Chain A
């Protein structure tokens, strides 16, 4: 039986290679950092060494991209074993992954593929979450991904699916405000209905990121600053959620750290106003 994660309302950044020196050699004004779990689920070498050093200076959240919680099959045992070893060593603030799938049979797409919002998928996702939380011995957070298509035959909305998933498994939530914005635009739903529909008390962390305009739809590219629309949605989310750990997530076109800290200051300002 896993227990809830503590309430933590600091402000953080995703730790990227370009900023390793900043985080190891200076005192960066963040309350936590988040790393991509898989980058450190390696046998040894410099990545693990750097993560240990960073962990000595900052709380660390582990954010995965390969658990494939929505797969129609059970989870990958080797993956869970390696993640468990990393969790035990790093003692992270949070352990999170995405409400998506990437693996079926012997195929792994390495992308966050959409889950159909059906009763069958909900059963499967819940069984997989139970498996993960049992192995890790702790409550995980699951993030709403951006999606680019909606399957026919859905029996519930995304937020209804997430609420049921959290209620049945005890898992907690990582709310990606940019992903809500992107998916709402792509599928034509009301972003505020999403915020109203998820269980606010289960949200432990918030992601903010930039997106880009594709030919027909918005793309969750994480390669640009947070846009005005996402900041406005974040302000609305904070009204509903109250203080919650928030971070800026940039994965491409990584700017100097000062630029990301400036964005984080904006998040602090909006968070403080609520």
Chain B
């Protein structure tokens, strides 16, 4: 067996723990068991660390079962363990198909983790804002920003769990909304927004044009209300340090 074959066989042992791979590696049962345990324990620990509130929400036993399903079906591929929790969302949708609260809690924790180490960016200074030509301004949102549709009270559940308070029961929202996650200085932030603000942020993320945002809102709210809403959103986003750069078309 050459080096590549040996390493592929070792991979098979870690992923499947098959007798065949153990035999090919020389049946070093005690040693192979240590590597097998290290591999799985590290991945379980990684998921536990990434989703502490989700774990509390579904319970340790259910979380461990979902983790094992994920580890069995999705061996890690990236050089960094930080990337491993990203795929857990898809596994949770399979394991808990009727629990959108679980999916949305997972999204929240994953987004908070990503925002924590996203690229640094300085918020746009107010002096710059005062002199902008709004007809041609293209706004740049912070690289830490993540957006997602929200159908349940997952934000309220997460906030309660984070504060170690009694979490409310999961319910569907009367009107679907959205979630924004970003980092302000060194602290990750989570905010629930209504569906229109989510669409407006996504519009700006895709296009950047403030004039385009106004047009988007005017189409939905009418001329006067649309422009006014664009101004209100802009003021809020600037205050929250969501906007970090500007250029002109």
Give the interface of A toward B (CB within 8 A).
38, 41-49, 66, 68, 71-73, 76, 78-79, 101, 103-111, 113, 116, 118, 120-121, 124, 147-152, 186, 214-217, 219
Contact = CB atoms under 8 A, between A and B. Distances in A.
B120 A108 contact: no
B64 to A, nearest CB: 19
Interface string B131-145: 000000000000110
A214 B32 CA distance: 13
Given A79-B79, A111-B39, A186 B31 contact: yes
Given A121-B3, A149-B25, A110 B117 contact: no
Interface in B59-87: 75-82, 84
A45 B117 CA distance: 5
Contacts of A147: 31
18 contacts: A43-B120, A44-B117, A44-B121, A47-B117, A48-B120, A101-B7, A103-B79, A105-B8, A105-B11, A107-B15, A110-B39, A110-B81, A113-B7, A147-B31, A149-B35, A150-B28, A215-B30, A217-B30
A109 B186 contact: no
A120 B1 CA distance: 11
Given A45-B186, A49-B186, A109 B76 contact: yes
A190 B66 CA distance: 44
A108 B78 contact: yes
- The interface residues of chain B, by DSSP majority, are classed as helix
Contact of B34 (A68, A109, A214): A214
The 9 lowest CB-CB distance pairs between A and B, nearest first, are A149-B31, A148-B31, A44-B120, A149-B28, A72-B4, A42-B117, A216-B30, A43-B119, A104-B7
B53 to A, nearest CB: 19
B18 to A, nearest CB: 15
Contacts of A121: 3
Contacts of B39: 109-111
Given A110-B43, A113-B10, A46 B31 contact: no
Contacts of B163: none
A120 B30 contact: no
Contacts of A124: 3
A78 B78 CA distance: 10
B3 A108 contact: no
A149 B3 contact: no
Contacts of B35: 111, 113, 148-149
A148 B7 contact: no
Contacts of A68: 79
A16 to B, nearest CB: 14
B156 interface: no
Given A44-B118, A44-B119, A124-B3, A104 B8 contact: yes
| Most chain B Cβ neighbours within 10 Å, of A72, A107, A147 | A107
A214 B36 CA distance: 14
